[in-house]
Amino acid sequence: MIDERDDFDIHCDLMQRLIDEQPTLDQAMSYALEAVKDGISERAYKTISATNYSAVLDRSKKWIQLVLRSDPPPQSLCAFYFGLFDTRGKFDHKNEWQQLYISGADQFNPDDEGEWACDPLWMPKYRYPRIRLMKLIGKLCPYNENLAGFTLSSSFAAALAMDHANMITEKIGFESVDEYPIASGHDSGDIHILGYMTPNGLRRPS
């Protein structure tokens, strides 16, 4: 097993790699699994590796389309956040996993350690997608053992946010701003600025 310090370093290094490379969802999860394989069971590694990420991505795109259609983001927004928080199921109090959600803020400061995301203006009705993979990660990689499950969930959220960036900007446009920061992270931890959504695609942070 990897110790807590190495576990955190692995997490930070992986998130930076995802930001630098902007990989597809399946590639991002492949990177994440290789990064944490020494901290998870062989069963967890094989099960998560066998995930059909194309199907997961298709369902997620339907979710973000529903969000944008039913509760369009206002023009006053200037940044978007794909957040995570720890949760348990209504009828399953044993296993903990991380729930994903989307929100938007009307203020942004890259130097305030993510405080800008803590008071969102836009919290759409259907902001919580139902993603079975997140529950599976929580079950197979318990968060009380190490940060492997957290790293896998965080990688998923980051890759999903980068994939959905163009769908968001197609809806909101660029009449008010030249670009929109997009970030992901855990509500009780660090927030990572993934890039800046522009009319020409996602620009990497400088």
Which pLDDT value is given to residue 176?
A: 84
CA distance 156 to 28: 7
Structure confidence at residue 91 (pLDDT):
57
pLDDT at 92: 58
- Strand extents, DSSP E, the chain: 79-89, 92-105, 180-186, 191-198, 201-203
The pLDDT of residue 7: 86
**pLDDT value at position 62?**
97
Q: What is the predicted pLDDT for the residue at 113?
A: 85
Segments in the chain below pLDDT 50: 1-2
pLDDT tens across 46-100, in order?
999 999 999 999 999 999 999 999 999 999 999 999 999 999 866 555 778 999 9
Looking at residue 190, its pLDDT comes to: 86
Residue 197, judged by CB atoms within 10 A of its CB (0-12, 13-18, 19+), counts as buried
Q: Which of 89, 16, 28 is nearest to 57 (CA)?
A: 28
At residue 90, the pLDDT reads 63
Q: What is the reported pTM? A: 0.93
